[in-house]
Amino acid sequence: MWSTFFDFNGSVIPGLHRFVGKNPVILVGNKADVLPKSINQKRVTNWLTQQAHAQGLRPIATMLTSAKNGQMVDELLETIEEYRDHRDVYVVGVTNTGKSTLINRVIKQLTGVSDLITTSRFPGTTLDRIEIPLDDGQSLIDTPGIIHRNQMAHYLGAKDLQLVSPTKPIRPTVFQLNPEQTIFLGGLARFDFVHGQRNGFTVYVDNQLMLHRTKLENADAFYEKHAGGLLTPPQADEMGDFPELVRFEFTPKEKSDLVFAGLGWIVIPAGQTVAGYAPKGVDVLMRKALI
């Protein structure tokens, strides 16, 4: 099963556990190469495993890989070989997770053929399933990506897709905020510091995404005026189809990450009341801090 740590819920095929049955599952978290250097990768794999359990899946192994540089490909192949027991292997996942890019690396290592899988202009979208022969006559089968409508990527035009698919390690941005201040993440999401003591909040998103700070009391009017202009993406011609932003409020008891699914996260000190906004249907959730 294929996922991205940026958007686990948007990477999971709904009801997948019912189709898997008793077959072993290896959970692969992609885009490890863009993780900040300060992050504890063991915490990431533990978190991915916990999220899988919440979806009814019980992976026998959880691995972090990189479609860009082939990180952990050999180890992934060894793990597959360890558990497949002379069976076919199915690679499943949703679109926009880099699944096909890494499968191309697997194909090259197994057969020497480069870039066998072609994609549409949307990353990870393939037209047909690909069967890669294994030594014992069985196959590793790359299935077409499943479209998951609750991904942030579905609200972006082609030129802005890289903002939810970073290609370089994320550089954190720290804001010293007083209560009743707001940060806009382009026009895609919003963060409000509702109540608490002056604190530092660290933002982890694509390095190219514009961040803008303003007063909470002015935030609604500011968004209404500047979304699609100063606050992009979305672009001005995309605003007509862009969903409303939905608000979620949290007061974590311990240092936590406020996650905007498919976009990034903000580190929240314990005891501060905050709110996160994302397009309707996109998850905003709280987790134990990964850093």
Q: Are residues 242 and 163 in contact, defined by beta-carbon separation less than 8 angstroms?
A: no
| pLDDT score recorded for residue 284 | 93
Residue 213 and residue 281 in one domain? yes
| pLDDT score recorded for residue 125 | 44
Euclidean distance between CA atoms 35 and 229, whole angstroms: 29
| pLDDT score recorded for residue 123 | 44
Among 166, 177, 156, residue whose Cα is nearest residue 278: 156
Which two three-digit tokens encode residue 146?
A: 């499943």
| pLDDT score recorded for residue 117 | 56
Determine the angle formed by the axes of helices 73-84 and 99-111, rounding to 10 degrees. Answer: 80
Residue 25 and residue 139 in one domain? yes
| pLDDT score recorded for residue 156 | 83
70 conformational bin, left if phi > 0, alpha if psi -120 to 50, beta if neither? left
| pLDDT score recorded for residue 124 | 43
Residue 94 and residue 187 in one domain? no
Among 90, 114, 148, residue at a domain's last position:
148
Among 153, 283, 277, residue whose Cα is nearest residue 222: 277
Q: Would residue 166 count as lying in a domain?
A: no
Among 208, 222, 219, 216, residue whose Cα is nearest residue 177: 216
Residue 112 and residue 233 in one domain? no
CATH number for the domain including 73?
3.40.50.300
Query: What is the DSSP code (8-state) at residue 287?
Result: E
| pLDDT score recorded for residue 12 | 73
* 3 state SS for 28-89: EEECHHHCCCCCCHHHHHHHHHHHHHHCCCCCCEEEECCCCCCCCHHHHHHHHHHHHCCCCE
| Tens digit of each residue's pLDDT, the chain (291 residues) | 655 666 676 677 777 888 888 899 999 988 888 888 888 888 889 989 998 898 899 999 999 988 778 788 889 999 999 999 999 999 888 776 777 778 888 877 777 666 655 544 344 444 567 788 888 899 888 887 776 667 788 788 877 877 777 778 899 999 999 999 999 999 999 999 999 999 999 999 999 999 999 999 999 999 999 999 999 999 999 999 899 999 999 999 999 999 998 898 999 999 999 999 999 989 899 999 988
Residue 115 and residue 191 in one domain? no
Q: What share of the chain is helix, strand, coil (3-state, %, to 5)?
A: 25, 30, 45
Euclidean distance between CA atoms 289 and 39, whole angstroms: 10
Among 107, 133, 148, residue at a domain's last position:
148
Residue 138 and residue 221 in one domain? no
Which residues constitute the domain of residue 218? 173-288
Residue 96 and residue 200 in one domain? no
